[in-house]
Structure 1
Amino acid sequence: MPDQRSTLRAQRRADTQRTIQAQAVRLFGERGYDATTVQDVAEAAGVSPMTVYRHFPTKEDLVLFDQHGQLFAERIAAAPAAQPLVRRIGGALVESAATLTGGSQREFLLARLRLMISTPALRAKHLDNQYALQQAIVAAVRDDATDTDPDVAFHVQAAASACLAALHTAVMRWAEDDGRSELPELIAKAFTAAFGDDTVNAHPGAR
């Protein structure tokens, strides 16, 4: 029973977090980021400002918070270790993008991305997210060699950074297209442009 109660609490917390963030992104899009207060977000979500801050310590976090790094890391860790590193990372990014954009979250992700692009404070903070994602990728492919050989660790970090640059290019194009293109296919194209043909294939489920 204690485990069940713990699971229910975690589920309620996640539901509250999603509701707050969805309302924040909606309001920021309608009224503007600077013109919308945390109090406005709290009222729209039906919670207190203290609850908002408990889930999102800063206003920027209301937009930037996500758990995509965990999803990417899980996909990378599940890929065959014998694959070339760029293909391993690229395949995981394509599969993750297909999962993230294949359902009801697609419009939310687009709205969130537009805010990141158009709001100076969010663009600056977004660099921290990129670094965190790079570290998640590095951790997902870590083995004894990366822990003991600085050159191997540097190679992994450089590869992760290059892959994220390709991902960023694809995501920006997706936003420019207003989501009309398929993000997994754009990521595959970006990887082909950066690393050569057949580096990664678009997810077969992409429309």
Structure 2
Amino acid sequence: MTVMASAPTSPAAQPGPRLGLRERKKIQTRQAIRAAAYRLFEEQGYDATPVDQIAEAADVSPSTVFRYFPTKEDIVLTDEYDPLLEAALRSRPADEPPLRAIRNTVLGAMRDILGDDSPEMRMRNRLIRDVPSLRARSGEGMGKSARMLCSVLAQRTGRPEGDVELRIATTAVLAAMQEALMVWVDEGQTGDPVDYLRRALDVLERGLTF
């Protein structure tokens, strides 16, 4: 879920069955590539960092980088959050209004995701703001997340997945969250990012009145 703009948490750290050795090695390789990329982005900038340099720093081949991340943008934008958000939304009380259910799901998840306040999470947000190709690609990820949320809400409400109100509501929520995080970056990333998200969702919930 690209809008979540955080350093991805390893699935190995999530509750559930223990992953096999092969899957753990894949996760370790993915994390090593990301760590090397962020280190180089910090030192010399995103545009000045080619994939082959990232591969060398991560001690893997360029083809291995592309196997895990088809493009350089994916190193920054790929995350593993949509399944977690989907499960959290499905667990909300059945009689909870749709917008309230999304709000509670998102704020609860983001409190966990952003709570570690990692340097990578901060850099990822800055890169999305400053690199046009990343900002454009982040919209694609947001669209995928919006379709997931819309599908779950359709099941909860009995509406069709193509319902215009559901589509507008889910897209508005994610767009508001993205903009809230960009404001957080513009203001120096000094406050609590979850507070920015809460304020954005407050605006939607009260009906875009000021």
Partner of 2:124: 112
Partner of 1:142: 154
1:11 aligns with 2:24: yes
**Between the two proteins, what is the percent identity of the paired residues?**
31
1:155 aligns with 2:165: yes
Query: What one-letter code is carried by the residue in structure 1 that aligns with 2:144?
Result: A
How far, CA to CA, are the matches of 2:135 and 2:18 in structure 1?
39
Large movers: runs of 4+ above 4 Å: none
Q: CA deviation at 1:193?
A: 2.0
How far, CA to CA, are the matches of 1:121 and 1:41 in structure 2?
18
Query: What one-letter code is carried by the residue in structure 2 that aligns with 1:92?
Result: T
Partner of 2:46: 33
How far, CA to CA, are the matches of 2:166 and 2:65 in structure 1?
37
Structure 1, unaligned stretches of length 5 or more? 198-207
1:42-61 residue CA offsets vs partner (Å, 9 max, x unmatched): 11111111111110011111
How far, CA to CA, are the matches of 1:43 and 1:12 in structure 2?
18
Partner of 1:44: 57
Aligned counterpart in structure 1 of residue 178 of structure 2, from 168, 182, 185? 168
Structure 1 length as normaliser, TM-score?
A: 0.83
Q: CA deviation at 1:13?
A: 0.7
Inter-CA distance 179–81: structure 2 relative to 1 (3 Å threshold):
farther
How far, CA to CA, are the matches of 1:107 and 1:118 in structure 2?
16
Structure 2, unaligned stretches of length 5 or more? 1-16
How far, CA to CA, are the matches of 2:139 and 2:167 in structure 1?
16
1:122 aligns with 2:124: no
Partner of 2:11: none
Q: CA deviation at 1:6?
A: 6.4
How far, CA to CA, are the matches of 2:141 and 2:88 in structure 1?
18
Q: CA deviation at 1:163?
A: 0.9
1:132 aligns with 2:144: yes
Aligned counterpart in structure 1 of residue 113 of structure 2, from 100, 106, 122? 100
1:12-32 residue CA offsets vs partner (Å, 9 max, x unmatched): 111211121122122123212
Structure 2 length as normaliser, TM-score?
A: 0.82
Inter-CA distance 134–6: structure 2 relative to 1 (3 Å threshold):
same
How far, CA to CA, are the matches of 1:101 and 1:117 in structure 2?
17
1:98-126 residue CA offsets vs partner (Å, 9 max, x unmatched): 111112x6321110111111111111111
Inter-CA distance 71–180: structure 2 relative to 1 (3 Å threshold):
farther
Partner of 1:179: 189
Secondary structure of the 1:170 match is helix
Query: What one-letter code is carried by the residue in structure 2 that aligns with 1:142?
Result: A
Partner of 1:66: 79
Query: What one-letter code is carried by the residue in structure 1 that aligns with 2:82?
Result: G
Query: What one-letter code is carried by the residue in structure 1 that aligns with 2:189?
Result: G
How far, CA to CA, are the matches of 2:99 and 2:88 in structure 1?
13
| RMSD of Structure 2 on Structure 1 (CA) | 2.2
Query: What one-letter code is carried by the residue in structure 2 that aligns with 1:100?
Result: I
Partner of 1:91: 104
Query: What one-letter code is carried by the residue in structure 2 that aligns with 1:134?
Result: A
How far, CA to CA, are the matches of 2:193 and 2:55 in structure 1?
32
